[in-house]
Every structure is written in C-alpha cells, then in structure tokens.
C-alpha cells in the first residue's frame, strides 16, 4: 500500500478512533457472517434486521455498500447536542469517548457512496441503495458539525486558561477538568503547559540577562568615576 494515499495510515489516534464501536442493524441477509453478531447460536448467516455492535472501520465498509444502518451513538445525537450547547465545559467527554472529536468527524463525513451495486444481494438491499445513493448522511451533517465546533470552541477557552495559569486555580478543580477531556483536548492541555514552562524559562533568562546588564553598567560607571 502507498502510505501517501492515506495520510492517517500510521496515525495511532486515527487507528484507535476507527476501533471505537457503533450499534448497527443489517439491512440484508448475509451468508456466513453470523460470528459478527452472535456466538450463542448455530446459525451461519446474518438475517436482515439483526442488530450488532461493530468496530467503526468494519461498519463503515458495510455501511457504504448499504448492507447495514449505523445508529448514531447517543453522545452525538440531538439530545446530547442540546446538553453540549447548554453546558459543554462540564460534560465528561472522556467518558463519552476518548476520541470524541475524531469519531464525531468520522461519523460526520460518513455517507453513502453513489452508484454502489447490491445486485448480488437482495431486492431489499437494492432498494436501500436507491434510497441512499443521493449522498444521505448518517446524521444531519450541519447539526453535528456545528455541535462539534461549538463544543470545542467553548471548551478550548478553559483548556487555555487552566493549562497556562494552572497555579492560579484550585488544584482539584483543574484536575477534575483534565479528567473530563477527550484525548485531543488532553494533548492541547499538555501543549499549553509546555508553552507555560517555556515562557517561564524565557522570562527567567531574560530577567537574568537584564540583571547582568545592570551589574555590568554599574561596574562600568564605577570604573569611570575612579579614573
């Protein structure tokens, strides 16, 4: 495989985001795949209407050829979007999903591929194809896009405030906030802390340089007076 075809091929966060699971429902009968949905029966085939939980990377493939529907995860549905709109900074995104934004973008971009061919399967599957081939998204794309952007915009202010001025706030409050961050937000928090330390080092060196210059100036003035 040419790695240049997929810039995220070696991105560990992208790989882990694709392993997050989603609830699915099969739209067609699929022979020989029952091991994906159940280990308790002797059936070999997946029946239409069978529900399953699949990793996103697998669900995406089956979704784009109209073999399954993907149920929007509860932490991305309109009810949760309403909660995020009201109090985004107190929501535990790490519990909602350690790759909340990443998986949200994957869901946002997920749409049926035009022209997929389900002729080898069932007439119902073929009808599903025509029903979705106009590029229908899993969830209202504008709604989810707006929710993700607004959530990040609102929470980033506290990330910046706490990470760059941590000593000015109660330790327990900051720690509790950190635990509610998804992995991308935690990376931003660490970057803020790193920049704070770099600024302190720079300021310390600048102060030392100014102090040395002041000492040198006084010594020079004293020498001139002694001459």
Average pLDDT rounded to a whole number, residues 56-73: 89
Q: CB 111: neighbour CB atoms within 10 A? A: 16
The domains of the chain, with CATH numbers, are 3-204 (1.20.58.2050)
Q: Are 48 and 98 in contact (CB under 8 A)?
A: no
Separation of alpha carbons 180 and 93, rounded Å: 6
Asked whether the predicted pLDDT for residue 147 surpasses 60, the reply is: yes
Average pLDDT rounded to a whole number, residues 122-137: 45
Q: Are 56 and 106 in contact (CB under 8 A)?
A: yes
Per-residue pLDDT tens over the stretch 151-179: 999 999 999 999 988 888 888 999 999 99
215 or 12, which is more confident: 12
* Cα radius of gyration rounded to whole Å, the chain: 27
pLDDT of residue 56: 94
Give the global pTM: 0.71
Three-state DSSP state, 40: coil
């Amino acid at each position: 495989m040419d790695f240049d075809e997929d810039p995220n091929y070696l991105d560990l966060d992208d790989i882990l985001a694709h392993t997050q699971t989603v609830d699915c429902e099969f739209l067609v009968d699929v022979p020989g795949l029952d091991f994906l949905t159940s280990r308790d029966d002797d059936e070999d085939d997946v029946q239409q209407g069978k529900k399953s939980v699949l990793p996103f990377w697998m669900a995406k493939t089956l979704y784009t050829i109209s073999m399954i529907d993907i149920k929007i995860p509860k932490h991305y549905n309109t009810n949760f979007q309403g909660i995020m709109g009201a109090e985004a900074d107190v929501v535990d995104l790490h519990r909602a999903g350690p790759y909340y934004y990443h998986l949200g973008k994957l869901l946002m971009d997920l749409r049926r591929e035009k022209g997929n061919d389900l002729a080898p399967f069932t007439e119902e599957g073929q009808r599903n194809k025509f029903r979705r081939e106009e590029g229908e998204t899993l969830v209202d794309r504008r709604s989810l896009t707006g929710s993700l952007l607004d959530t990040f915009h609102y929470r980033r202010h506290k990330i910046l405030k706490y990470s760059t001025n941590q000593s000015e706030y109660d330790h327990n409050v900051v720690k509790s906030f950190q635990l509610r961050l998804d992995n991308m937000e935690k990376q931003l928090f660490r970057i803020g802390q790193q920049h704070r330390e770099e600024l302190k080092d720079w300021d310390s060196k600048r102060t030392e340089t100014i102090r040395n210059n002041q000492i040198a100036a006084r010594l020079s003035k004293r020498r001139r007076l002694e001459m």
